Structure 1
Amino acid sequence: MPPLVFSRWHLSTAPALLTWILLLNIGNGNACKRGVPRLRLSYKDLLRSNSSRLLLGSGDGLAFQSFLVDETRAWLMVGAKNHIFLLHLDRPNEEPQKVFWPARKEQVERCRLAGKNAETECANFIRLLQPFNRSHVFACGTGSYQPICAFVQLGARAQEPGGSPIQLVANSVESGRGKCPFSPHEPFTGLLIDGELYSGTSSDFMGSSAAFFRTRVHKAAQNYIRTEQNQDHWLNEPVFIGAYLIPDTHNAHDDKVYVFLRETALEAGQWERRRIHARVARVCKNDVGGKRGLINRWSTFLKARLVCSIPGPQASETHFDQLEDVFLLRTRDPQSPLVFGLFTVSSGIFSGSAVCVYSMAAVRAAFSGPFAHKEGADYRWVEYKGRIPYPRPGTCPSETYDPLLHSTKDFPDDLISFMRNHQLMWGPVYPLGRKPILVRVNVPYRLRQLLVDRVETESGHYDVLFLGTDEGKVLKVGLTGGRGQDSEEISLEEISVSKVLSPILDMQFSPKRQELFVSSTHGLVQLSLYRCELYGKDCTDCCLARDPYCTWDGKGCSPYRLTEKRRARCQDALKADPVSQCQDTTAGEDR
């Protein structure tokens, strides 16, 4: 009998097929337990619930793509097509203030002649709103494929009735190249820190070249630092998702900006198909560029792979590599936030979405590990085992590590030479528990937006995920019992926030107001974080809902506040036991 021979296709595909079957079981078999939401509301149902309000209608396809929330002064700034709106949240019936900021007519005409759509592309779509100081906001728009930026002045007492309206500071208008994308459809990120804008965006009309920049926003001189051009090992067809300033030590000179993106992976191997990998990259905040080959280039730029996968049989893994959104959950330790990543996967076998959570300890461990390196006759990627220059590549110049280094321009020549060719770390970053906390496969939607709220309850903290879909729905999912083997997922709500099917473009929190702002091409909706009264009219229904925002107060299912004086209530989202809990509340009423 001849030996069994397996083709390359069988060897690579069989484990994937088995994993796919497991994923379908996750997506379907447990649907009755955790996939079916406690509440499912259509758009009409939502309006009748009195827990939402349409803040702005779609109008002329305004495409509300950027938000800025000021909780202290209770206003919401919204960027749209040719407009910036300012809404006063404490005065819901007041007409919003607005700035009309169109692209120049000649640029609109050039955009049309280049073959772009006159309605959906040839306009000034406001993509960036960042606070500059108490009186000004820095704003950038696509400018009909010629990006422009300017300051928006809030005006004296703009938050008060009768206060001065917002206005565009005309003499502040400047080029937005390297600060804002050319296209209204391109994902990008922008973060303003101490008058400097960190931005990941395309740098040309065609969108064929993208980089991570830092530019000064209020200086006449356009000083900048960026990733190297035309060097695929720095960045290869990147799509930028988010950027955050995270301190590494108690010394501010060690602060780093962490950037989240996805890109085409060079290290996937020449025999593999084109692969997308999710990345976390970082630069030192005090990086002023290097010398010689790194003038006006980052001298501390490093990147590592973010892994979000489901282990399968025979040591196979199903990877969710298409990073869609990132949320940073701040903790009591400013150096140790949790990173929530939303990923998707699409193949000929299946499509789906997943959420993974990463600790900063795991991220820093990857950047402290070995570097990746190309060598050998076939020039393949391997672990670098040569001499590492001093100071270690990626180290910020500060007295924490070397009191003699005052600037990145003081880095020695061997370090500069090393940093020109060694951006990639060898070891990836794995999530907590080495698996996703949420998986959705074999469903009619894709997840696109992610927000996380940590709710403190009497029985501990409880993370609530708000997920925006490409069908105009918001999913509310609770996570209890930590992120280990005993974690539990509770699907609480599925809400349609638009009359027609359209992707959720952006979502922002107002934790102080317990509200969520959700935008699509068809409008901007203000949504309460809870709809307690819809869970039912008795204690049992309220308790079984296991919504951390809600509790039975003796008369009805009502919003829960940890600071309230304890009355008769049941509120234990971690373990619902309506028999004992509702008996306790009855006893409380009798007392």
Structure 2
Amino acid sequence: MIRIYQYLILEIYFLLVFCSGLIPRLTLRLDDLCLRVPYNIKEGHTVFFQDGAEKLFIGGTNYVLQVNVSNGHIMENFTLPDNRDHFCNKPSCGNTITVIDKFQNSMLVCGTNGGNPRCWKLHPKSSNHSRGVMEEMDGKGIAPYSYSQNSLCLTVDGDLYAAAPLYKEGTSLQFRRKAGSQTSVWMYDPWITEPTFITAFLARRPRDPVNEKMYVLFREKNPDSSLEADPWISRVARVCKADKGGSKRFFQNIWTSFLKARLVCAIPNEFLYFNRLQDAYVLHAEDWRESRIYALFSSSWNATAVCIYSLADLDHIFENSSFKGYNGEIPSPRPGTCVEDSKSLPMATINVIKQHPEMNQWVQPIQKTSPFYISNSNYTRIVVDRVKAADGKKYNVLFLATDTGKIHKFLEDGSEAFIISEISLYEHSAPVQSMKINSEKRQLLVGYPEQMSVLDLQRCQHYNTSCQDCVLARDPYCAWTENGCTSQIKEGIQNIATGETHLCFNSVNHVTRTKRDTSSSSPVPEEINHTVPMGFPFYLSCPIESHHATYTWLHGNDLISCNPTQSTCLYLIPNTNEGNYGDYTCQAEELDYKKIVKKYNLRSPPQSRSINIAFKISAQKHLLLTPFTLVIMLVF
């Protein structure tokens, strides 16, 4: 009964959210400006690694591609040594690449290798080494046995950290330091239960390297097995980069600084929790305390949410919270403190880590009252860019990928989300497998089962009709200048804060012109004339340019509301009479801007019988060309 009540509350919440207009302002279609790199086969899994602004490494099944993201050209195709069982014809027998990263002056590539995980060091053409595969090593604990198994990899200052199963059944999955200049360390088994690792990262502290820490985001099986509890719970864990494990007597080669805390993403007043962490992106700042984590969650009722966390808030929990289940005096140094020699830590400190690594306090998002964004779209990937706008301020832009292959572009407007656009980069409905952002080149790199696509984030041509259209977009990448709506935002016209268009008419910028010598105001469309016989059904069509605008039809003194479809606003005349002739105007109103989108004039035909018959035939053809109109006619 309680769960049914919660679902009803959530349905009402969704209605309130969607009625407030939280939908993509523009729906953009695929065009030829998008770069594509097709794969030879349909991939079940792909992995990306960016090497500078120009190069992208793509790992598929039995190959690694090096691609120039400026032109889509494949610079190199690495063929890896084949150690697979050639008598096996199952897909699992292939070598699916799951890791590509820089490690020890080479490119480390690891794959499933037909159920026998292996790693290889590659040297591309651009390196100072001989080209090709130079070295092979055991990949257990770095790559999974099957690409469907969970894994992640992180390289930091010459050390390799990874989470992958040690055994074929997928067991012994934990976060380890596997190779490098420091000693190998791993986790104490009781610390986590059936985890799914999402991402790991290092927060750098150049002035305090001893206190540099790594953070691991994951979800694990909920210890609460009651019917009302979600089977999963989301976590953030922390370990010190300098951690070398304990002494030979106690906790040798085991993390001595491991702590974990619960990540909360919820509608607190309704006790509705998004417990299943799906993806996360870290937006690093020069001061580590100002870094943010953008986390994507799903729920048991098929909703998704984005919650944003401050790295300073995370550390505050780890530094100040009590330890769950521990009631004794907190030893010194405090458990989780980074020290130069972890092998010398006292037994009392390590015992708390061993038996009580979880914090009592939960990590709350920056916006504590509710998630930053909630949707019934099934989002699977998230990345974030930071953009300097014309006003000198920096704005965060989020890109969320759906399970149907669409990309939603968001503006983080304080505590509110504004969806700038929705775009499809792939002709078919397919989930996004990999997504990386190239901030330097303003590109989004998206991997699908059959291709990799490169999206230019500065697609200002979509708002180039007028100054008002450019400003209403609220796209930090674009501004109105003497060349139209462009990515050259210096001294351009923007209003990222509200999107209101009055800036287009102020005393300084009103004289702005494009090279085509059109003013900053939208051009008035030419009137379209139609001759319609009496008694015939007819419809007028108006394109939907913005889903945030309100569309109305004006005919004489009548103002008629429009019920828009996905792309058009139709006005149906079921039976034309004298009162239906005259001028029709379709207008759109958005914020402080009103625009005429279409103008029509309907007139009666001449009374000549031959001409009247001709017009009837013409009108019938016009209707037959539109199946939607035939359906409307049948209804009436």
TM-score (norm 1): 0.81
Q: Which has the larger radius of gyration?
A: 2
Distance (Å, rounded) in 2 between the aligned partners of 1:436 and 1:386:
35
Which residue, 339, 363, 373 being the options, matches 1:429?
A: 363
Q: Structure 1 counterpart of 2:245, which letter? A: G
Q: Is the counterpart of residue 244 in structure 1 residue 177 in structure 2?
A: no
CA deviation profile, 1:73-105 (whole Å, cap 9, x unmatched): x21111111111111234x26443111126423
How far does residue 503 in structure 1 lie from its aligned partner after superposition?
Answer: 1.1
Are 1:293 and 1:420, in contact at CA under 8 Å, matched by a contact in 2? no
Q: Residue in 2 aligned with 1:344?
A: 298
Are 2:69 and 2:454, in contact at CA under 8 Å, matched by a contact in 1? no
Report the 3-state secondary structure (helix = DSSP H, G, I; strand = E; otherwise coil) of the residue aligned with 2:470.
helix
How far does residue 423 in structure 1 lie from its aligned partner after superposition?
Answer: 1.4
Q: Residue in 1 aligned with 2:65?
A: 85
Q: What percentage of residue pairs aligned between the two structures are identical?
A: 29
Distance (Å, rounded) in 1 between the aligned partners of 2:485 and 2:321:
54
Are 2:93 and 2:114, in contact at CA under 8 Å, matched by a contact in 1? yes
Are 1:453 and 1:464, in contact at CA under 8 Å, matched by a contact in 2? yes
Q: Is the counterpart of residue 448 in structure 1 residue 380 in structure 2?
A: yes
Are 2:405 and 2:430, in contact at CA under 8 Å, matched by a contact in 1? yes
Q: Is the counterpart of residue 143 in structure 1 residue 113 in structure 2?
A: yes
Are 1:132 and 1:138, in contact at CA under 8 Å, matched by a contact in 2? yes
Are 1:530 and 1:550, in contact at CA under 8 Å, matched by a contact in 2? yes
Rate the CA distance shift 1:436–1:249 in 2: closer, same or farther, 3 A.
farther
Q: Structure 2 counterpart of 1:502, which letter? A: A
Rate the CA distance shift 1:473–1:500 in 2: closer, same or farther, 3 A.
same
The structure with higher relative contact order (CA 8 Å, sep 6+) is: 1
Q: Is the counterpart of residue 206 in structure 1 residue 169 in structure 2?
A: yes
Rate the CA distance shift 1:100–1:580 in 2: closer, same or farther, 3 A.
same
Are 1:200 and 1:210, in contact at CA under 8 Å, matched by a contact in 2? yes
Are 2:84 and 2:113, in contact at CA under 8 Å, matched by a contact in 1? no
Q: Is the counterpart of residue 66 in structure 1 residue 26 in structure 2?
A: no
Distance (Å, rounded) in 2 between the aligned partners of 1:157 and 1:289:
35
Q: Residue in 1 aligned with 2:30?
A: 46
Greater alpha carbon shift after TM alignment, 241-250 vs 351-360: 241-250
Report the 3-state secondary structure (helix = DSSP H, G, I; strand = E; otherwise coil) of the residue aligned with 1:13.
helix
Which residue, 128, 139, 145 being the options, matches 2:99?
A: 128
Q: Is the counterpart of residue 369 in structure 1 residue 320 in structure 2?
A: yes
Are 1:247 and 1:335, in contact at CA under 8 Å, matched by a contact in 2? no
CA deviation profile, 1:29-82 (whole Å, cap 9, x unmatched): 22xx221x23323xxx3224x2x1102x1322245622121235x211111111
Report the 3-state secondary structure (helix = DSSP H, G, I; strand = E; otherwise coil) of the residue aligned with 2:511.
helix
Q: Structure 2 counterpart of 1:66, which letter? A: V
Are 1:453 and 1:465, in contact at CA under 8 Å, matched by a contact in 2? yes
Distance (Å, rounded) in 2 between the aligned partners of 1:422 and 1:157:
47
Are 2:390 and 2:479, in contact at CA under 8 Å, matched by a contact in 1? no
Greater alpha carbon shift after TM alignment, 431-440 vs 242-251: 242-251
Distance (Å, rounded) in 1 between the aligned partners of 2:162 and 2:379:
24
Report the 3-state secondary structure (helix = DSSP H, G, I; strand = E; otherwise coil) of the residue aligned with 2:149.
coil
Q: Structure 1 counterpart of 2:90, which letter? A: A
Q: Residue in 2 aligned with 1:525?
A: 453
How far does residue 18 in structure 1 lie from its aligned partner after superposition?
Answer: 4.7
Q: Is the counterpart of residue 181 in structure 1 residue 144 in structure 2?
A: yes
How far does residue 536 in structure 1 lie from its aligned partner after superposition?
Answer: 4.2
Matches within 5 A, 1:297-376: 297-312=254-269, 316-346=270-300, 350-373=301-324
Q: Residue in 1 aligned with 2:19?
A: 29
How far does residue 253 in structure 1 lie from its aligned partner after superposition?
Answer: 0.9
Report the 3-state secondary structure (helix = DSSP H, G, I; strand = E; otherwise coil) of the residue aligned with 2:452.
strand
Report the 3-state secondary structure (helix = DSSP H, G, I; strand = E; otherwise coil) of the residue aligned with 2:290.
coil
Matches within 5 A, 1:136-535: 136-156=106-126, 166-169=131-134, 172-217=135-180, 224-229=184-189, 231=190, 234-247=191-204, 250-266=207-223, 268=224, 272-273=228-229, 275-291=231-247, 292-312=249-269, 316-346=270-300, 350-373=301-324, 382=325, 384-398=326-340, 407-434=341-368, 435-441=370-376, 445-459=377-391, 460-480=393-413, 482-483=414-415, 488-535=416-463
Q: Specify every segment of 5 or more residues in structure 1 that has no aligned partner in the other structure, as ranges.
A: 1-9, 159-163, 374-381, 399-406
Distance (Å, rounded) in 1 between the aligned partners of 2:145 and 2:359:
31
CA deviation profile, 1:153-200 (whole Å, cap 9, x unmatched): 123568xxxxx995111xx21111111222212342211112211112
Q: Is the counterpart of residue 16 in structure 1 residue 6 in structure 2?
A: yes
How far does residue 247 in structure 1 lie from its aligned partner after superposition?
Answer: 3.5
Report the 3-state secondary structure (helix = DSSP H, G, I; strand = E; otherwise coil) of the residue aligned with 1:432.
coil
TM-score (norm 2): 0.76
Distance (Å, rounded) in 2 between the aligned partners of 1:153 and 1:136:
6
Distance (Å, rounded) in 2 between the aligned partners of 1:385 and 1:249:
36
Q: Structure 1 counterpart of 2:179, which letter? A: R
